[in-house]
Structure 1
Amino acid sequence: MSDPLPLPAQRPSTAVPSGPGTPLPGSADLLRSVFRRHAAGVAVITAGGERPAGFTATSLASVSADPPAISFGVASGSFSGRAVARAAHVGVHILGEHQEELAALFARGGADRFAPPTRWSAGPEGVPVLDGVQGWLVCRVISRTPVGGHCLVVARAVAGRVASDGRPLLYHQGRFNALRD
């Protein structure tokens, strides 16, 4: 018979020490601890299909201006990850600081993300385009690379629009934030 699992209070800490000193070996805990300190813009990635899919992403990056290309990561086993794996085109939506609820909705598993109050329409290539975002792109997927339980997607912008000015929604220290003056 195996030993019983320790109670949560008895489990060893997974906190990663901070400050200068001897580098620690690479681990999931180290990566999470370092990236909690990295403020990231918040985007929603969408994909069309029989049932539209979408998720909140903080891994969005500009890869190239010429050709105009972006990248993001998605959990391979998720509904959205499977939809992105089948999609020829995806939508990329940059959220404003007033869209924390939208970001939270698209981050929540099992939610009907495209039901009211979400406002959206079919955009170029049939990709769901969200209303009220700061800007959006429709991108043609050009590569997918498996990385652990995720997939790194690189896509080329084929259409889009700068929709509104305003301040971006950020993700930092495990929560949504806004820029400070």
Structure 2
Amino acid sequence: MTTPAYSAALEDRIAPEEFRRVLGHFCSGLTIVAGMSGGEPVGFTCQSFSSLSLEPPLVTFSVGRTSTSWPPIRNSGAFCVSILAAPQEALCRAFAVSGADKFAGVAWRPAPATGSPAIDGALAWIDCGVEAVHPGGDHLIVVGRVRALAAAGADADPLLFYRAAFRGTAA
């Protein structure tokens, strides 16, 4: 079997709508990435989170270059990722909007290593320092060094995103 030669011209023909439609077939979990800025919590919804390395323990996520929540978190040098449970869809939606007081009425506690917000009711949290930030098209690729983490032990399904819709794993 032969592999066709790569052609940069092919990628120029991929419409953003088609790219989104096809990649929407990949199911992703949903998280909130949060940090502190001037003594106040700041955060955003993120579906591009994953583990990166066991040794050293690293995680990664991508954030849009136009995000207004990311710069203060980056400047703090630390963040906590809360892995959302299926019942947290409304919280996920609230953290996906720009300009609102996202933490109004949200229960959270300072993560032990960095003090970044860990969202109550999440399935797990991962407390990190910013290790590196790399350019990635219209996003930034963030690498975090894990300082502390825990599974909350919540008896809930994860909040998932699949084909442009929120999903739980329950039948």
Taking structure 2 as the reference length, the TM-score comes to 0.84
Match of 1:144 in 2: 133
Gaps of 5+ in 2: 1-9
Residues in 2 aligned to 1:161 and 1:71: alpha-carbon distance in whole angstroms: 17
Match of 1:45 in 2: 33
Residues in 1 aligned to 2:51 and 2:66: alpha-carbon distance in whole angstroms: 25
Per-residue CA deviations over 1:40-75 (Å, capped at 9, x if unaligned) read: 001110011213211111100111122221110112
Query: How far 1:90 sits from its partner (Å)?
Result: 0.8
Q: Residue type matched to 2:25 in 1?
A: R
Per-residue CA deviations over 1:134-179 (Å, capped at 9, x if unaligned) read: 1101011111012233211011111121112321000111121111
After superposition, where does 1:37-116 map in structure 2 within 5 Å? 37-50=25-38, 51-116=40-105
Aligned length: 159
**Percent of residue pairs identical:** 32
Query: How far 1:121 sits from its partner (Å)?
Result: 2.3
Per-residue CA deviations over 1:108-153 (Å, capped at 9, x if unaligned) read: 222211111x101222312111111111010111110122332110
Match of 1:169 in 2: 159
Residues in 1 aligned to 2:15 and 2:134: alpha-carbon distance in whole angstroms: 20
Matched, 1:159 2:151: no
Structure 1 runs (4+) deviating above 4 angstroms are none
Match of 1:119 in 2: 107
Q: Secondary structure of 2:91's match?
A: helix
Q: Which has the larger radius of gyration?
A: 1
